[in-house]
Chain A
Amino acid sequence: MSKIKPAEIKIGLEVHCQLTNLKTKLFCSCPSDYRGKEPNTFICPICMGMPGTLPVLNEKALEDAIMAALALNSKISERMLFFRKNYFYPDMPKNFQISQYDKAGGVPLALGGYIQIDSKRVRIRRIQLEEDPGKLSYEGTIDSSTCTLVDYNRAGIALIEIVTEPDIETPKEARLFLEKLRSILEHLGVSDGSLEGSMRCDANISLKGGKRVEVKNISSFKEVERALNFEITRQKSLIERGIAIGQETRHWDEIRRITISLRTKEEEQDYRYFPEPDLVPVIISKDRIEEIAKRMPELPDERRKRFIEQYHLSPQSAEILTRSKAMADFFEESVKLYEKPREISNWLICEILSYLHDKSVEIDKLAVTPKHLVDMLKLIDEGIINREMAKSVLQNMLLTGKMPDTIVKEKGLEKILDKEYLRSVVEKILKENPQAVRDAIIDKKAINYLMGQLMKATEGKIDPKIAGEFLRERISELAKLKI
């Protein structure tokens, strides 16, 4: 069985990112915050492509797109054109999409560029501005539904499409690329990746220099890794059986976790690109680019470097914290309230991150705020709870959103500081476990069993250090007595 080396896998991504910081759509003045609204209420004759209507370009969309292209190290075109991409589909009000093209005389917003992930550079081929289509839904599944339900609220929303070179070699790299892209766009404030459907991507994958397979309908970054892993496995097995991979388009089925061939006539697409006659060229001056560059916020890579220098974090910690803007913001706000960046970093990375991952939730959507975390850390400092206790306080905070001191009071979690009480509990344990005591006298390590029992009896509320001291004291005393 031949193994396919990573270098033989080529993955390219086409990522569509909504410019969510705009108030209106790309070519009309409909409001852009369509999520959760009634279908077909954020529409107008222009985005519905009604007869006689014409598009007019949103200037802020252009600027946000330019800023994104700058952050991606891309070269902004001097003279940009819009092109029509012609194809029929029920989510397309005009049955063409106003988009951009890099052939046939077309000039997109920007060419080239890259994103650095770990030690690797993933090159960008082009970045273009285009409009989003509407949304289709079904009664049941796409196959069984007797009709298709169309909502045009999303039609006309501004998108930037980022197309990479096939530099990505593993599904994991694909996910890292997307996470980094999202982080960059969020740091710029031009696209909020946490909004449903705001970042969608298609992947192109080829193995061993074979034909390119396009995988569409990938709804989230997690799904990208899954879809690509599946596709690699699928293709590998075909190659091993000597079956050639043909160029095709496949559809990722999230529920069954497989890719399905879209071997329909839709494949024979000829988009007949030509320049959009209703829009005039856009000449992007150096002045405009400079002005936008000046007001560009701090990017993730810069922030990571600053975290290392300013907060003395390890490179790994800094990298993890700056993967998402929300996480990095949470960190810095926490540090503002409590100047122990390493502590905060540890808690975020070791405890909170896994929770976020498990629940698939974003840190800024949590009930827990920087103040929650900081207050909890202060409680540890004051000796009111110990570290172990703090962990369960944290879990409780994440679930309930209550402030740590409230939780501590409610659950009576204050460390048992009363030394008299502590001694009495130690005695009780020693009495209840005579065999363990004899073991502990002989072998110091066996004291752990007694520690365990002590913790159990006190519901972990004691300070292990002090309790340990007491235990060892008493064991020594007992040892002396026996002798």
Chain B
Amino acid sequence: MSHYIELPAYEIVKKIREHELKAEDYILYLYERIKRIEKEIHAYITLTEDLALKKAREIDKKIERGEKTGRLCGAGIAIKDNICTKKIRTTCASRMLENFIPPYNATVVNRIEEEDGIIIGKTNMDEFAMGSSTEHSYFGPTHNPWDLKRVPGGSSGGSAAAIASSMATLALGSDTGGSIRCPASFCSVVGLKPTYGLVSRFGLIAYANSLEQIGPITKDVRDCALLLSCIAGHDTLDSTSVKKIKEDYTNYLIDDVKGIKLGIIKEFFGEGTQDSVEKGVFDAITKLEELGADHQEISLKSLNYALPSYYIIAMSEASSNLARYDGLRYGYRIPDKSYDWSTVYRKDRRFGFGFEVKRRIILGTFALSAGYYDEYYLKAQKIRTLIKRDFEMAFKRFDVLIGPTMPILPFRIGEKVEDPLEMYMCDIDVVPANLAGIPSISIPCGFSMGLPIGLQIMAPPFREDLLLRVAFSFQKNFSNRKDEKL
């Protein structure tokens, strides 16, 4: 019975539609598994068992009545806790929103529900998506299913861990500076950051609005394509969402990479990159070559400046996006002590926010402040243009660009948390895609000492088809899934 939880979503959906499996039973299996192993992993902040079972029963009834069902029919979906779910607590892993129950859904959640996806819970994350390890959560860290003493990556660590340990069929994460791809790499799952503007940000609690996107985290590339197809598309509520013809990304699951030109980014193999990671990625590239792809090295000099530019822009936007959290209209409010409004705000935010969040707010405020705007924020935005241009130039020569997702293997919990700069450096390979707004996927490409290595593939804007094709081909031919012992 329990083998169902190992199956990819597209197969589950098929089985449920074909009456082979009941949605209710399937959801129960998921919760059984959650009950058994969640206490070790701590991927979830909120579980929505009653609601999920209710929805599952409705789906079963629909199927009995022979009604049409959605493409996510019966799949159990874990949603990162910075994506608003109506009437379900949405905390951003922060004390500030510990009891925040939004009266509205994020657009992607509406779309999932329209496709009969079942929300099973809200996943743990770094507070307000600020982090690369899911250690900065008010509710405690998530543990990497491959080694519980290690981090699952961040900030969508909970979603990635839930998928890796089969505690959900599908998951949504958000990626501002690698927050989908990093945990995907550390947890040996598939994570896709779509092109900026492809997926609506309405309902995504903002960290850095010009950089972030919601995207799928799955075991199988096919599931990734399926979930992306359901959530992508124009939204009138998001002025930065693109109007284009809706695509079915499952059409791009083609096992053929012959002649595809891979550009290997020289800057991604700098001295901070661990040897085992480098080896793992080169092995993967070799495998792709075996399948018919060509590769060549390319140097994108501007990428040397991507990391500081990313942080300056992200922190600046964050300092403004998080200003609304003052405890007045919702969120954490200190007990009444007849302070004046300014003092109340200062205290609400002192006790409501964790230290990393405060650090970024202060740095971001600084970077935008009078006298510093030009040399920090404006400068970073100009470097962003250079990075965009470099990618445009690279994509004239190559179909996709390739490299490691993370320069290192998953580190121990507590290892980097005291040194923010060291933590920030982990993002060196993932932030360029956010700055340029291009799509990027991380797929598992092996292990070293039992720890996962992720391969990152980037494509031109709106060419998720290329990513999925290369990823699908790789996974089909070389995947060797190691199942969880638990």
Contacts and interface: CB of A to CB of B under 8 A. Distances in A.
Q: Indicate if A touches B (C-beta under 8 A).
A: yes
Interface of A: 45, 48-57, 84, 86, 88, 90, 93-96, 104-105, 146, 148, 150, 152, 265, 270, 272, 274, 277-280
Contacts of B92: 51
Given A52-B104, A86-B323, 5 more contacts: A51-B324, A52-B106, A56-B239, A150-B328, A274-B377
Contacts of A274: 316-317, 320, 368, 373, 377
B236 A56 contact: yes
In the A-B complex, the 7 residue pairs with the smallest Cβ-Cβ separation, listed nearest first, are: A95-B323, A272-B368, A277-B209, A277-B210, A51-B205, A52-B203, A52-B84
The size bracket of the interface on B is: 35 or more
B239 A278 contact: yes
Nearest to A86: B320
Contacts, number: 102
B134 to A, nearest CB: 20
B239 A280 contact: yes
B103 A45 contact: yes
B146 interface: no
Contacts of B237: 54, 56
Contacts of A53: 104, 202-203
Contacts of A55: 239
Contacts of A50: 102, 104, 329-330
A94 B324 contact: yes
A278 B203 CA distance: 13
Contact of B370 (A45, A105, A150, A270): A270
Contact of A49 (B202, B204, B316, B324): B324
A54 B373 contact: no
B434 interface: no
B202 A272 contact: no
Contacts of A48: 329
6 contacts: A50-B102, A52-B106, A52-B203, A54-B238, A54-B240, A274-B317
A95 B349 CA distance: 13
B448 interface: no
Contacts of A96: 320, 323
Interface stretch (B9-17, B67-75, B338-346, B397-405): B338-346
B70 to A, nearest CB: 23
Given A51-B102, A51-B205, A105-B378, A84 B238 contact: no
B166 interface: no
B376 to A, nearest CB: 11
B274 interface: no
A28 B369 CA distance: 29
B165 interface: no
Contacts of B84: 51-52
B442 interface: no
B239 A57 contact: yes
B328 A84 contact: no
Interface string B324-338: 101011100000001
A52 B373 contact: no
Contacts of A280: 239-240
Nearest to B330: A50
B388 to A, nearest CB: 16
A148 B341 contact: yes
Contacts of B238: 54, 56
Contacts of A88: 323, 326, 342, 345
Interface in B232-263: 236-240
Interface in B97-113: 97, 100, 102-104, 106
Given A54-B237, A88-B342, A148-B341, A272 B378 contact: no
A152 B329 CA distance: 10
A150 B328 CA distance: 10
B169 interface: no
A52 B106 CA distance: 8
Nearest to A265: B342
B218 interface: no
Contacts of A279: 239-240
A274 B103 CA distance: 30
A265 to B, nearest CB: 8
A90 B345 CA distance: 10
B365 interface: yes
B439 to A, nearest CB: 19
Most buried by B among A53, A56, A104, A279: A53
Interface string B439-483: 000000000000000000000000000000000000000000000
